[in-house]
Amino acid sequence: MGVYTKVGDKGRTAFFGCGMIQKDDPRIEALGAVDELNSVIGVTLAMVSDKELQDVLTKIQHDLFQVGADLAGSALEKKALPRITSVHIQEVEQAIDRIEERIGVPTKFILPGGTQASALLHLCRATTRRSERELVKAKGVIEISPDLMIYVNRLSDFFFMLARQANNEVNVKEQQPIYKYFEEKKSGE
């Protein structure tokens, strides 16, 4: 069997445990968003040299395959596949807490960017948020574990803190947005 199967040529694909469904089904959209996130993390991995960050990102990539298995196998018996659990959530929360202890919590919005690593981690954060939105849509079609939803939500917070840490480590100052494009009211209006 080759890479192409021709099964999807008419806009349908197999969804594990559910048979054939349309490719624009919320379940496929959610899986695609998680896959895209994993790919963005892969790009980030290729561009950063910090070994500790690489290890963290690689672990997240593995966890995202578990997110995909959990999502795709939602119709299967709970013990049939590995699932995202409270242990995954605790690991991410503890990592966020460690960074927060070192660099604090921002009191204002910050612009994504700074170092190359920070900019890529902000892209990971934004892609995670989109994945989360797609998972919320998929919840209308299938049962999704509350732990899976919490994990993805925490993951975006973690990417935010990793981005801030990447700038902080090399003393790149965070930039706040400048809101200078409001129209001024003329007197008498």
pLDDT digits (tens, 9 = 90+) for 158-179: 999 999 999 999 999 988 888 8
In a domain, residue 147? The reply is yes
Residue 171 Ramachandran class (φ > 0 left, ψ -120 to 50 alpha, else beta): left
In a domain, residue 187? The reply is no
Structural domains of the chain, count: 1
pLDDT digits (tens, 9 = 90+) for 117-140: 999 999 999 999 999 999 999 999
Neighbours of 117 (CB within 10 A): 22
In a domain, residue 101? The reply is no
In a domain, residue 164? The reply is yes
**What range defines the domain where residue 66 resides?**
12-96+107-169
Q: Provide the pLDDT for residue 2.
A: 76
Residue 59, pLDDT above cutoff 80: yes
Q: What is the CATH number of the domain that holds 61?
A: 1.20.1200.10
Q: Provide the pLDDT for residue 188.
A: 57
What is the residue-wise DSSP string for 20-39?
A: EEETTSHHHHHHHHHHHHHH
d(CA 71, CA 132): 12
pLDDT digits (tens, 9 = 90+) for 7-42: 777 777 666 666 777 677 888 899 999 999 999 999
Using pLDDT thresholds of 50, 70 and 90, give the confidence band for residue 189. low
156 φ, ψ (degrees, to nearest 5): -65, -40
Please give the residue that has the higher pLDDT: either 15 or 51: 51
In a domain, residue 90? The reply is yes
d(CA 58, CA 41): 8
